[in-house]
Amino acid sequence: MSEVKIRNEGAPVFGDLYLTKLMASTYDAKHEMIEALLAAIMKEHPYIEIDEALIRLVLDEALVNSIKHGNKYDVSKNVTVKFFGDEKRWGISITDEGEGIALEDIIPIDNANEEMLDHGRGVLLMSELMSEVRYYDSGRTLWMTLDHPRKGFGDPVPIKVSDDIPELGESD
């Protein structure tokens, strides 16, 4: 499980930026976004025995938080989603247009229990299933990555590495 921190700067993109997409703050838009992201993940980082349900779950938790806690269901506000990756890992950043969050809003990770709030459980799930979860832009951007081989998502197949070294984007 990765430690979750909130940083003030903008979120980095590493490797190739495969997809940038705006999402309205509605659950219908969320369903469409999950399908688009799943298709892109399968295309750019294909695996055998992929556990699609767990990827759906992680995406669902992240997008629901941006709609519910970030934009507070304000349909005039959007969510910007980026999907990127290189030969070692892939990542997703999800940026809402809300006021940001404080660390105490998201952290009760060591105290998982019956009384935990839903979004606390959501962050806990993302932290357990992904390799790294961070917040940027004072909490407006959720940034998460999954290393190869993926933990919790079934057995990976060998990663195809291109002969050409890809130009790296901004990296942290």
Partner 1 sequence: MATKPAPKVNTQSVGDVTVIYFSQKRMLLDESNIQAIYDELINISQKEYKPKLVLDLANVQYLSSAVIGKLVAFNKTLAQDKGQIKLCAVQAGVMKVFKITKLDKIFKFFADQDSAVKSYK
166 binds partner 1 (CB under 8 A): no
> Are the C-beta atoms of residues 95 and 80 closer than 8 Å to each other?
yes
DSSP H helix total and E strand total for the chain: 4, 5
54 binds partner 1 (CB under 8 A): yes
Q: Which of residues 69-88 bind partner 1 (CB under 8 A)?
A: none
The single residue among 49, 104, 114, 163 that binds partner 1, judged by CB under 8 A, is 114
Among 3-11, 81-89, 119-127, 135-143, the segment contacting partner 1 (CB under 8 A): 119-127
The single residue among 23, 41, 92, 129 that binds partner 1, judged by CB under 8 A, is 129
Q: Exposed, middle or buried: residue 109 (CB in 10 Å: 0-12, 13-18, 19+)?
A: middle
Give CA–CA dist 70/162, Å, rounded: 38
> Are the C-beta atoms of residues 131 and 45 closer than 8 Å to each other?
no
The single residue among 22, 42, 112, 168 that binds partner 1, judged by CB under 8 A, is 112
Give CA–CA dist 115/125, Å, rounded: 16
| In the complex, minimum distance from the CB of residue 165 to partner 1, in angstroms, rounded to a whole number | 36
∠ CA 79-67-117 to the nearest 5 degrees?
Answer: 140
68 binds partner 1 (CB under 8 A): yes
The single residue among 122, 134, 140, 142 that binds partner 1, judged by CB under 8 A, is 122
For the CA atoms of the chain, what is the radius of gyration? 16
Query: By the criterion CB under 8 A, which residues form the site for partner 1?
Result: 27-28, 30-32, 51, 53-54, 56-57, 60-61, 64, 68, 112-114, 116-119, 121-122, 124-125, 128-129, 152
